[in-house]
Amino acid sequence: MDSILLVAIFHAAIISATPILYAALGEIFAERSGVMNLGVEGMMLVGAATGFIVVVNTQSLMLGTLVAIFAGLLLGLVFAFLVVTLQANQVVTGLVLTIFGTGLSGFLGKQVIGMAAPISYKKVPIPFLSEIPYFGHVFFNHDVLVYIAYLLVPICWFIIYRSRAGLELRSVGENPSAADSVGLNVFRIRYLYICIGGAFAGLAGAYLSLAYAPAWAENMTAGRGWIAIVLVIFATWNPARAWIGALIFGGVDVLGFRLQAIGIEMPSFFVRMLPYIFTIVVLTFITYKSEKAKNLMPKALTIPYDREGR
Amino acid sequence: MTNPLLNMHNITKKFPGVVANENVNLEIYRGEVHALLGENGAGKSTLMSILSGLYKAEDGTIVINDKQVVFNSPKDSIKAGIGMVHQHFKLVDCLTATENIILGLKHIQRFYDLEKLHNEIEQFTANYGLKVDPRSEIWQLSVGEQQRVEILKMLYRKVEVLILDEPTAVLTPQEVEELFITLRKMAKEGKAVIVITHKLNEVMNVADRITVLRQGKSIATLMKTQTSKQQLSNLMVGREVCLTYDKDDKEIGPKVLSIQNITALNDKKVKALEDFSLDVYGGEIIGIAGVAGNGQRELTEVIAGLRTVISGIITIDDKDLTNAAPRKIIDSGVSLIPEDRMGTGLIGNLTVTQNLILKCFNEAQFSNKGFLHLEYLANYSTEIVKDFDIKTAGIYSPIKLMSGGNQQKLLLAREISKRPRLIVAAYPSRGLDIGATQAIHKILLSQRSEGTAVLLISEDLDEIFCLSDRIAVMYEGKIMGVVKPNEATIDDIGLMMCGEGRAC
Amino acid sequence: MWGGESVLVKEKVNLSNFISVEKRAKVSKVSFLLIPLISIALALLFGAIFLWATGYSPMKIYMLMFTGSFGSFYNFSETMVKAIPLMLTGLAVSLAFKMSLWNIGAEGQLYMGAFMAGGVGLFFPQLPAPVMLTCMVIAGFIGGALWGLIPGILKALVGVNETITTLMLNYVAILWVGYLVYGPWKDPNGFMPFTKGFEEYALLPTLPGTRIHAGITFAIIIAVVLYIIFKRTTWGYQIGVIGESQKVASYAGMSIKKNIVLVMLISGGIAGIAGMAEVSGIIGRLQYNISPGYGYTAIIVAWLSRLNPFVIILVAIFFGGLLNGGYALQIVGLPAVMVSMLQGAILFFVLGGEMFTRYRIKLGRGGRN
């Protein structure tokens, strides 16, 4: 295939991967603490809508992005209250959060539907690096939020695997009773990471409305929040793998459209199926195989921590 | 004699319907290994749970270094220098030993150097002679090694008092010796070690002083050098008024259950039953005496088909049912009254009727071609409830609303209504009051009269003595001896329960 | 005396110095029913305050929604049309939930059912309508059943978490249908990703004057059947026991693995029928977007109905009403999707209210044990 086309596809894949990656990184934190948040889609939408509204009214990208992050965080707080304090069913609550978020974003966004973005994130080529043949354009000719995502991956990895906070996080998701016994506050830790997850989801949404599109349209996440949830499992709750996975999912998405455009329909759909099928295979392997593999999934995931003897 | 490091004074702790500790006194000195001895239910674990901050006593005080303290959480207790190693380890499987040891400590750097910590912990383990590879993940370690990690966890937090709850239950004899060496070393360094146990020979091996608890009260505190196993056993078991029953002198029937040389592992892959043999005949009650944790649970599971047997044979009425499916065993006339009645035998959210038909819903009287005879079932339940005098909130209410005694009666009613050949009853009167207990006993005796073979497992020696035709004592997966109730005294049995053999 | 092993029994948890929460010993019937109702009332109140604060009249909006969903014969019939797939998927999902199997895959099972039924409808030779439709129903069931079988087998044999596998398969199913309608099955005379329309004999009959199709009879029949199964059969009884406690079920000799597979199969099959009903009753063809997430909403419907088949029918109608009422909001310039907020709020309050059926709040300092 034409090398220029390849470069364009990879470049587009990274853009497509970025919102999924943000949301997945956030969800990795939440799930590592033992909580599965199916409300990511709703939180992303609210982030997208609020971010865009603020930008339309203030012309400030910074403010818009911050408000989007904050909105996601607030929804995370609501979710945490329901599933951690009130011990509500995580699956149902997450679904409800998605529904609520979808509605809220639609309501808030109606004032700005169809408007052009007064300002949006523009590509900022990194001097020198962006001039490397082929790779330069693919990796270093993007907007700021993409670069921040690059940085966040190793940062998140370090936090989870090499910091004291990460150790505490992992223990809460694996064996909350053990964590409780050494004096860790399981509830507080879960609250914290659920909110972080919400903040990341809000940021992911902001990326869509302030950089990717840029605009607001109802339901503009188009299922990306769900893909992020899938990605977390595909990546076995590991930020580094999540980056690779996001590229795959993003790439597959882009590839699908390109193939469609050239008139090659069929393979695009099957290519897009592959990540999901692969995730099932990975999960089966994890569940069935050696002890080492079994330890990839946080043991306490979706089980509410009830100190009363359980 | 210096002042005690720790003093528990007049501790009283109540749970709904039960007094777990009543005016218990305990004095612990630096540099001693102190054994807390008693049967199950004597109150040892509860007392130590109070000391480690899990529970709060209704009455009484705790004094450490002459200062009164109040614990609101395990964290407070650890801060006061008290650490407890529980029977069920609180370790995170996928983390390394080092990470488990430092978990929750706030003085560790935010971005710690794991390699450096590994080295530090390695040094730490060497100091105490507790061999564990700090770099291995918990799931890779043996049970003995995991226990060492738990102990190290406490030592790293600079505890002055280390409490161990039944520490040898999961260890091999070799590991037990190593543990005792460690405990003595810690005592020599000025720490106080409290060991909760029921095993007499271990007590005499490792303890300096011993406090005996019985039925929630502290009975005596003795120096090891001034007592004997016999005396301790007496104190532990005590003498109670025996509820005597009139047992008719029936002929013993044919052999129903034959267990021949079976070996089975427990959940921690340690041998729970070792070369175990026992025969039970129709029309007799065999009582298995022994402290819980010596393989009794595994024995019931092996008979009921819920646990695999590694070697040996189990036959029911001469049919080989070793490792057969539970359904097949149930259909062969075996009834298990499980020790965990609500977790294994009954479902709290379901009604009386729904619990009654748990095993027999396919029988012709209860259903036809897959459809339940609801009206018949309602009548059936009502009758059972009446016959067995079970107090319910109505046969359509969930049984979790019933008292323990009534739940147990329901369970028994269900099991015996199938006219089983063999009833395995594990701790049937545990947690029940006198009235319910007598009702249960009456049921078991009536089954005996009808020719059913009954295998009774209990920690209550009075119950064993009053009901059994023969008594077998179980210790560490083996039978220590089989005697007739009129041929042995409670003391003899007590000794056997604690590991002192008597020729079979 | 107190059990063999040390048991952590904490009956009170301090949420702060002033409130403590205590586990209820009993669940009174009154609170069981009252609390969901109070939750709904609170949610409506919350919604009213929100509307008033943003400059709309709560009464006006609620009336608009109500008339939009139930106010006229036509509106009510449209509400029913939207309720039918919710009924069917809700029933499908409730069967799995009864056994504590988290079937999140009703969406995908619906699509597979639509695909199989659509295949039969488009490519079988001409048959009289009753025969053709029966074949389509069976095909729909098979399609969904196969899609439920895969996660069922994985769970029974290997123990793979069914929440995740069913979720994944949703995407595969939607993409599969996408492939068909963009590719081999695309209507040669059309430009959009549709198949040819089904012939008369492959369309479900509708109630005259409305778009309410025979799918509603499927729903009612299945609801009755499920009710009978749960209440009156030995199989339903076993499912309930396994769902409550696998440990007790094995102790009682019940076959858990076999039932996992069977239940996932049937649960998927019912969702498959939902797919058949949508394409044969309303849409009239196979197309790219068959369901706006019915399979996901079904989970909430089933949960809210506490798995009672008849309540599921009613709750599905309520949700259909919410959906329809939302469209009415467009008259005052509000986006239809806003009704999701109200839906979400009601559900949040109900979810939160659940806690009160299990716990009691006490004011004042509770001891920590």
ipTM of the complex: 0.85
Residues of B in contact with C9 (CB under 8 A): 15
Q: At what angle do helices C106-123 and C294-304 cross, to 10 degrees?
A: 130
Residues of B in contact with A180 (CB under 8 A): 74
The pLDDT assigned to C366 comes to: 37
Of A165, A178, A183, the CB nearest to B92: A178
Confidence of residue A53 (pLDDT cuts 50, 70, 90): very high
pLDDT at A216 over 70: yes
DSSP run (H or E) holding B82: strand B82-85
Q: Which of A63-77, B11-25, B399-413, C118-132 has the highest mean pLDDT?
A: A63-77
Would you call B470 helix, strand, or coil by DSSP? strand
Distance of CA C180 to the CA centre of its chain: 26
pLDDT at B466 over 60: yes
- The phi, psi pair for B472, rounded to 5°, reads -115, 135
The residue among A301 and A72 whose pLDDT is bigger is A72
The residue among C308 and A134 whose pLDDT is bigger is C308
Chain B interface includes A33 (CB < 8 A): no
pLDDT digits (tens, 9 = 90+) for C128-146: 888 999 999 999 999 999 9
The pLDDT assigned to C333 comes to: 74
Rounded to the nearest angstrom, the minimum Cα separation between B111 and chain A is: 4
Confidence of residue B504 (pLDDT cuts 50, 70, 90): very low
The pLDDT assigned to B238 comes to: 66
Confidence of residue B342 (pLDDT cuts 50, 70, 90): confident
Q: What is the mean pLDDT of residues C354-367?
A: 56
pLDDT at B334 over 90: yes
Q: Which two tokens stand for residue A209?
A: 């409305």
- Give the contacts of C131 (CB within 8 A, at least 6 positions apart): none
| Residue linked to tokens 């909403």 | C297
Q: Which two tokens stand for residue A77?
A: 């707080």
Cβ distance of C335 and A92 shorter than 8 Å: no
Rounded to the nearest angstrom, the minimum Cα separation between A107 and chain C is: 5
Q: Which two tokens stand for residue A187?
A: 């509830």
CA angle B150, A87, B94 (to 5 degrees): 30
Residues of C in contact with B362 (CB under 8 A): 234
CA distance C329 to C331: 5
Chain B interface includes C247 (CB < 8 A): yes
Q: What is the mean pLDDT of residues C221-248?
A: 94
The pLDDT assigned to C3 comes to: 26
pLDDT at C15 over 50: no
The pLDDT assigned to C278 comes to: 94
pLDDT digits (tens, 9 = 90+) for C235-280: 999 999 999 999 899 989 899 999 999 999 999 999 999 999 999 9
In this structure, of A181-190, B225-234, B451-460, the range with the lowest mean pLDDT score is B225-234
pLDDT at B295 over 50: yes
The pLDDT assigned to A269 comes to: 82
Cβ distance of C355 and A229 shorter than 8 Å: no
Cβ distance of A103 and C160 shorter than 8 Å: no
Q: Which of A294-298, B217-221, B462-466, C171-175 has the highest mean pLDDT?
A: C171-175
Nearest CA in chain A to C186: A265
In this structure, of A231-235, B14-18, B100-104, C131-135, the range with the lowest mean pLDDT score is B14-18
pLDDT at A127 over 90: no
pLDDT at C198 over 50: yes
pLDDT at B239 over 70: no
Mutation target for A interface from C2, C6, C161: give the one with most A CBs within 10 A: C161
pLDDT digits (tens, 9 = 90+) for C88-97: 999 999 999 9
Confidence of residue B425 (pLDDT cuts 50, 70, 90): very high
The pTM is what? 0.82
Q: How far is CA A101 from CA A43, A205, A225, C290, in A?
A: 6, 12, 12, 23
Q: What is the mean pLDDT of residues A220-231?
A: 90
Confidence of residue C195 (pLDDT cuts 50, 70, 90): confident
The pLDDT assigned to C14 comes to: 42
> Which of C318-340 are b and which e, b meaning 16 or more Cβ less than 10 Å from the residue's Cβ?
bbbbbbbbbbbbeeeebbbbbbb
* Residues C202/C280, Cβ–Cβ less than 8 Å: yes
Q: What is the mean pLDDT of residues B120-132?
A: 87
- Which among B82, B444, B9, B496 is positioned nearest to B290, based on CA atoms? B496
Mutation target for A interface from B15, B55, B92, B102: give the one with most A CBs within 10 A: B92
The pLDDT assigned to B251 comes to: 76
Q: Which of A8-17, A97-106, C216-225, C354-363 has the highest mean pLDDT?
A: C216-225
- Round the average pLDDT of chain B to a whole number and report it: 86
The pLDDT assigned to A183 comes to: 84
The residue among C343 and B116 whose pLDDT is bigger is B116
| Residue linked to tokens 């199969």 | C265
- Which among A32, A33, A27 is positioned nearest to A198, based on CA atoms? A27
Confidence of residue B40 (pLDDT cuts 50, 70, 90): low
Rounded to the nearest angstrom, the minimum Cα separation between C58 and chain A is: 15
Confidence of residue C12 (pLDDT cuts 50, 70, 90): very low
Q: What is the mean pLDDT of residues A235-249?
A: 93
Query: With a CB-CB cutoff of 8 Å, which residues 66-105 of chain C face chain A?
Result: 102, 104
* Residues B417/B359, Cβ–Cβ less than 8 Å: no
Residues of A in contact with C152 (CB under 8 A): none
Percentage of chain C exceeding pLDDT 90: 44
- Which among B202, B260, B190 is positioned nearest to B232, based on CA atoms? B202
CA distance B91 to A127: 50
The pLDDT assigned to A293 comes to: 55
Nearest CA in chain A to C344: A100
The pLDDT assigned to A264 comes to: 59
Q: Which of A298-302, B49-53, C29-33 has the highest mean pLDDT?
A: B49-53
pLDDT at C18 over 80: no
Percentage of chain B exceeding pLDDT 70: 95
Cβ distance of C169 and A280 shorter than 8 Å: yes
- The phi, psi pair for B317, rounded to 5°, reads 50, 40
The pLDDT assigned to C21 comes to: 55
The pLDDT assigned to A244 comes to: 94
The three-state DSSP-derived secondary structure of B106-167 is CCCCCCCCHHHHHHHHHHHHHHHCCCCCCCCEHHHCCHHHHHHHHHHHHHHCCCCEEEEECH
Q: What is the mean pLDDT of residues B411-416?
A: 90
Q: Which of A154-158, B467-471, C46-50 has the highest mean pLDDT?
A: A154-158
Confidence of residue B234 (pLDDT cuts 50, 70, 90): confident
Rounded to the nearest angstrom, the minimum Cα separation between C217 and chain A is: 28
The residue among B58 and A253 whose pLDDT is bigger is B58
User: Which residues sit opposite B259 in a β-bridge?
Assistant: B278, B314
Rounded to the nearest angstrom, the minimum Cα separation between B79 and chain A is: 10
Q: What is the mean pLDDT of residues B13-30?
A: 85
What is the amino acid identity at position A235? A
Q: At what angle do helices C256-277 and C215-232 cross, to 10 degrees?
A: 160
pLDDT at A71 over 70: yes
Q: How far is CA C110 from CA A180, A269, B27, B150, C224, in A?
A: 43, 19, 69, 51, 21
